[in-house]
Amino acid sequence: MSAATLRQLVTFRLGADHFAADIYAVERVLRYQQPTAIPNTPRWIEGVIDYQNQVVPVISLRRRFELEVVDAKLETRILVFNTSDGWIGAVVDAVLEVITVTPDQLAPPPKLFRGLSSEYLQGLVRREKGLVVCLDVTRLLTADERMALQSVASESMARA
């Protein structure tokens, strides 16, 4: 198997469900820090953090996917994703491991998966422990939502 056909994914947990994102989309894994709240933003925007002298908007994937919201725990992390609009932080319950998958381990996405719109999905990875939902982090947010996040970051920088 050539290295070109292998994919590396960062796996993480939300509740009992396992998710993954392409390792090239992940800038950094940060210990959870309480984001600074920004008034009048959608519920799924937790706020902003300072990362490498830049204001980075942080979203709650639990709220985004309409899962039960829980308090942050010791293993809670913020995944900083690289997007065409800059960095976006995403709160996850825990980061698990980096896995290498082959094309035959990746099944095409179903129309709906536990409330997730199939537009977010790259596919499902078959593992011994069950399925891992592979997310397309570039499509987690609509164009309007990305603009809202950019606005939050810009307003935060103006206040600083």
State the CATH number of the domain containing residue 61. 2.40.50.180
Q: Cα dist. 148→26, 44, 72, 90, 92 in Å?
A: 21, 11, 24, 15, 21
pTM of the complete model: 0.85
Q: Which pLDDT score, from 0 to 100, does residue 77 have?
A: 98
pLDDT tens, position by position, 24-71: 999 999 999 999 998 888 888 899 999 999 989 999 999 988 899 999
Sign of CA dihedral 31, 32, 38, 42: positive
Number of domains in the chain: 1
What residue numbers bound the domain in which 77 lies? 3-159
Which of the residues in the chain have pLDDT under 50?
A: none
The confidence score (pLDDT) of residue 159 equals 64
Task: Identify the bridge partners of residue 45 per DSSP, sorted by sequence position.
Answer: 59
